[in-house]
Structure 1
Amino acid sequence: MAHYQYKPKVIKAWAFYDWANSVYSLVISTAIFPIYYNSVTTVNGSDQIEFLGATFTNTSLYSYALSTSFFLVALMSPLLSGVADFSGRKKSFLRRFCYVGAISCAGLFFFDDVDMIWLALLASILASVGFWGSQVFYNAYLPEIAPRRLQDKVSARGYSLGYLGSSLLLILCLALIEGHSFIGLEKSFATRLSFLLVGAWWALFAQITFRNLPEPVERKSIKWRTLTNGYRELRKFWIQLKKLGVLRKYLVAFFFFSMGVQTVILLASVFGQKALGLSTLQLISTILIIQFLGILGAVLFSKISEKIGNFKGLVLAIIIWLGICGAAFLLQRSDPNVAIKFYMLGGTVGLVMGGIQSLARSTYSKMLPEKGEHTTYFSFFDVTEKMAIVLGTFAYGFIEQMTGDMHYSALTLGVFFLLALLAMFYLKSSERISM
């Protein structure tokens, strides 16, 4: 594994990729696109869609598309991380996935009618693959560019930059959409134009990262045997997990709370629009609250981890998430104060969203052995997260499809957090936790 000398310029470049690619997470996967998708695919008050010979509710079909994208990433990331480790082309693969994601976001511009549902789903899947595929290589840089004592702060710095950058673009897109008549555009066109802006922002700002991140001078050519190296490394790692008790038990907890966290991030705006009847402006305002408090939350939980340790910090975050899911289940469209309560709930989500993500990444990084290819370790971490999201988004869509009520889907997410909490307490009771 390559270790690079600690350089502030490299740290800034690494963290700036969060600024570049987080616009996908916010504008495409969380805020504007899910709302736009739901409005385009709701025809004459009906949310039923015929697709591939079957009938789906529009939001459950979207959930299944997200599940598909994460399943593809889970299958691909071991292969690609093995290739990157062997060939020394970590930055090259980061760049390629970045461009796949950015171009796919821009491609959503052409989704202007329910008949183009295939394009919406395909571009959504490819954009998700591009984003999450690049994260495998991005995360693997962390233990190589920052000493262990600084990894919490560096990780939080990345998330904070991501929240700030994506929030700025979301505000610009919101101004474009809400002020569409002032500049002589149709609202649909202004909304689709925001997807082009996401693609351009992601690709252009990523150049700062690509220009300054290090890469080994030696670049080996890729051979056929290399293509399965990542899977072989994962198999070795799976066997090693029997000896790495703390890491194995932590990954179980990480699996369960990732099912909840990532599903909330991906489908919260759809829940607010469809289950609670909130307007686009109310939903995006809530998401902006989440983003700006997310900046504070990432830093806050970094400070909390310094005071009480990573383990207690994560337990605190999981308990708060459990309460969020319970509160979401109790929210009703008929409540005259539903918008205010949704804002308050969004603020709470913001405080713990960045905190739990940042702590989850840095806690795992601290648990890794000093020696070994960290890309392989983070590949397993990412595969675990992606499979959690596959099951989380599928369960969310399936329960809505069966019950016709998203409130029960939200309640299910609470069960995932409860299981994560039990896994964390089992980890504490069976292992000595010093973090």
Structure 2
Amino acid sequence: MQGATLDRQSNPESVRGYAFYDWGKSAFETSVTTAVLPAWFAYLFLKANGLEAEILGRDMTSDAVWSVAVAIGALLVAIASPSLGVIADRRAIKMWWLRILTYLGAGSTIALAFAPLFDISLQWVWIFVMFLLANIGLNGAGVFYNALLPHMGTDDEMDAISNKAFAYGYFGGGVLLLIHLLMITFIVDGAGSNPSWLIPFVMASSGAWWLGFAMLTFKYVPEPEIENEMESLGINQSAKLAFSELKKTFSEWRKFKTLFIYMFAYFLFIDGINSVTALAGIYGISVLGLTTTALIATILVIQFVAAPCAIGFTKLAEATSTKSALTISLIGWVVVVTAALSFAPLELSQHSEYDFQYDWNEDTSEYDITVGETAFALKLSV
């Protein structure tokens, strides 16, 4: 990073402030992206469209539409990130961009709660748009959040600081998810259903959690100093500078073969990790047939197992090397994800246990379709 002040002793208060950002934004990744929103989105999509809807000339299911939202958000950030990164290295704007993108992400997460205000045919569309914007905010903020790490301490402290932030994230996301699980389990009416306000509350509280703890980051993490900072440029000039620097960097790739190989590998494995994180929830609901409560409980266990493991990998890196610890974690991750592909729902013995139940209605001479225990109750006629 040209002109940046690096490799200075860490400030404990700043490190805690840095880690609290992970604590806050993990609520979006757990309660929203993985645990609750996939089921709510699938329910609203089914209620509005049935099993499939024609979008841009293609019949798409709810999980396919969900995947599109994730992909578009990631693609837009991937296109913009290199240019923003070049400018951020030459201007003291890392914290500024982190704020703006956090406001976008957390604000869009809170806005998910407003879906019930729209007609049923538009509720899933509102969620699609807000989830897309929230993902752009999350991934875009992640670019600048990660760019702050080299400024948080010396080279020898990087593993410990990074893993501390991961541990904070697992604990923070887990604490709020536990609260949401208790609410979904115990706040029910006489028929055993959750009140209509509960799921919107989960969305709004997740956004508020993200934004609230991000305020600690904004308060305690200073903008990194940049020596010989360049003057402020307009949008066109900034874009030209960014692309010229990128072109120059790529033209000299032979001088940095190891770095480019790592960047390519990182692109592949981080995209794989993010894809699994973003799609695991709707995979559990749509494919494995998990109930919302079971899905939340599973994620909750993962959160509290992963938190100490993040600290454990710091010890492993100290005992071996950072590369060895990374290699071990990636190999283990690939094995586990590959094994997960072999999962299939157990054969059900009772008609009422199926997610999609077809019952002949003698009065109307139609089939009633019940989309039930997976997430929310819904009846359709065909």
TM bucket, shorter chain: 0.7 to 0.9
Aligned-partner residue type, residue 89 of structure 2: D
Please say if 1:75 is aligned against 2:86: no
Measure, in 2, the Cα distance between the counterparts of 1:187 and 1:231.
Answer: 51
CA distance in 1, matches of 2:61, 2:320: 45
Distance in 2 between residues matched to 1:122 and 1:251, nearest whole Å: 30
Instruction: Pick closer, same or farther for the CA change 1:82–1:278 going to 2, 3 Å.
Output: same
Q: 1:116 aligns with which of 123, 134, 137?
A: 123
2:139 corresponds, among 132, 141, 157, to: 132
1:293-304 matches, within 5 Å, as 293-304=305-316
Aligned to 1:13: 17
Q: Structure 2 residue aligned with 1:3, among 1, 5, 9?
A: 5
Aligned pair 1:144/2:143, yes or no?
Answer: no
The one-letter code sitting in structure 1 at the alignment partner of 2:38 is P
Taking structure 1 as reference, are residues 34 and 152 closer, same or farther at Cα in structure 2, changes over 3 Å only? same
Distance 1:229 1:178, change over 3 A: farther
Q: Could you tell me whether the CA contact under 8 Å between 2:184 and 2:293 is conserved in 1?
A: no
Sequence identity of aligned pairs in percent?
A: 31
Secondary structure of 2:75's counterpart equals: helix
| 2:224 matches 1:212 | no
Larger radius of gyration, structure 1 or 2? 2
Q: Give structure 2 stretches of 5+ with no counterpart.
A: 349-382
Structure 1 residue 107: deviation in Å?
Answer: 1.0
> Once the 2 structures are TM-superposed, how far is the Cα of residue 256 of structure 1 from its aligned partner?
2.6
Once the two structures are superposed, the pairs formed by residues 194-233 of structure 1 within 5 Å of their partners are 194-215=202-223, 216=225, 220-223=231-234, 224-233=236-245
| Counterpart selection for 1:31 from 32, 35, 40 | 35
Question: Given residue 162 of structure 1, which amino acid in structure 2 is its aligned partner?
Answer: G
> Contact conserved, 2:38 with 2:282, CA < 8 A, in 1?
yes
Q: Distance in 2 between matches of 1:78 and 1:257?
A: 18
- The Cα of 1:210 is off from its aligned counterpart by 0.7
- What amino acid is aligned across from residue 12 of structure 1 in structure 2? R
CA contact (8 A) 2:105 2:135 kept: yes
Measure the CA separation in 1 of the matches of 2:4 and 2:269: 31
Distance 2:49 2:246 in 1: 48
> Are residues 44 and 28 of structure 1, via their aligned partners in 2, closer, same or farther at CA, if it must alter by over 3 Å?
closer
Deviations 1:154-211 (CA, angstroms, capped at 9, x unpaired): 0001111011111111112222222332699954420111111112111122111111
Does the Cα contact within 8 Å between 2:46 and 2:62 map onto a contact in 1?
Answer: yes
Tell me, yes or no, if structure 1 residue 86 matches structure 2 residue 90.
yes
Matched to 1:194, the amino acid is: V
Q: Which stretch of structure 1 is more off in the superposition, 185-194 or 20-29?
A: 185-194
Query: What is the alpha-carbon distance in structure 2 between the residues aligned to residue 143 and residue 35 of structure 1?
Result: 38
Aligned residue identity for 1:246: T
Distance 1:50 1:178 in 2: 35
Match of 1:165 among 169, 172, 184: 172
Cα–Cα, structure 1 residues 94 and 259, in superposed 2: closer, same or farther, change >3 Å?
closer
Q: 1:334 to 1:23 in 2, by over 3 A?
A: same
Deviation string 1:340-379 (CA, Å, 9 cap, x unpaired) is xxxxxxxxxxxxxxxxxxxxxxxxxxxxxxxxxxxxxxxx
1:45: how far off?
10
Opposite residue 199 of structure 1, the aligned amino acid is G
Matches within 5 A, 1:329-408: 329-334=341-346
Stretch moving more, 267-276 or 83-92: 83-92
Pair 37,222 (structure 1): closer, same or farther in 2 beyond 3 Å:
same
C-alpha distance in 2, partners of 1:330/1:20? 33
Q: Is the 8 A contact 1:97 1:134 kept in 2?
A: yes
| Counterpart residue number, 1:57 | 61
Instruction: From the superposition, tell whether residues 241 and 294 of structure 1 become closer, same or farther in structure 2 (CA, over 3 Å).
Output: farther
Retained in 1: the 8 A contact 2:181–2:297? no
Does residue 1:106 correspond to 2:106, yes or no? no
Q: Is 1:311 aligned with 2:313?
A: no
What is the total number of aligned residue pairs between the two structures?
336
Alpha-carbon separation, structure 1, partners of 2:80 and 2:195: 37
In structure 1, distance between residues paired with 2:304 and 2:282:
20
State the match for 1:365 in structure 2. none
Give the match's secondary structure for 2:46: coil
Query: Aligned-pair distance for 1:109?
Result: 0.9
Cα 1:232–1:173 change in 2 (3 A) is farther
Conserved 8 A contact 2:81-2:143: yes
Q: What is residue 379 of structure 1 aligned with on the other side?
A: none
Residue identity matched to 1:80: L
2:279 and 2:259 map into 1 onto residues whose CA distance is 29
Cα deviation for residue 115 of structure 1 reads: 2.9
Q: Which moved more, 1:284-293 or 1:209-218?
A: 209-218
Alpha-carbon distance in 2 for matches of 1:159, 1:295: 7
Q: Distance in 2 between matches of 1:289 and 1:186?
A: 23
- Aligned 8 A contact 2:189 2:195 in 1: no
8 Å Cα contact 1:142/1:151 also seen in 2: yes
Aligned partners of 1:181, 1:253: CA distance in 2, in Å? 47
User: Normalising to structure 1: TM-score of the pair?
Assistant: 0.72
1:245 maps to 257
Rounded Cα–Cα distance in structure 1 between residues aligned with 2:216 and 2:264: 36
Does 168-177 or 221-230 show the bigger shift?
Answer: 221-230
Alignment-mate amino acid for residue 103 of structure 1: G
CA distance in 2, matches of 1:16, 1:195: 20
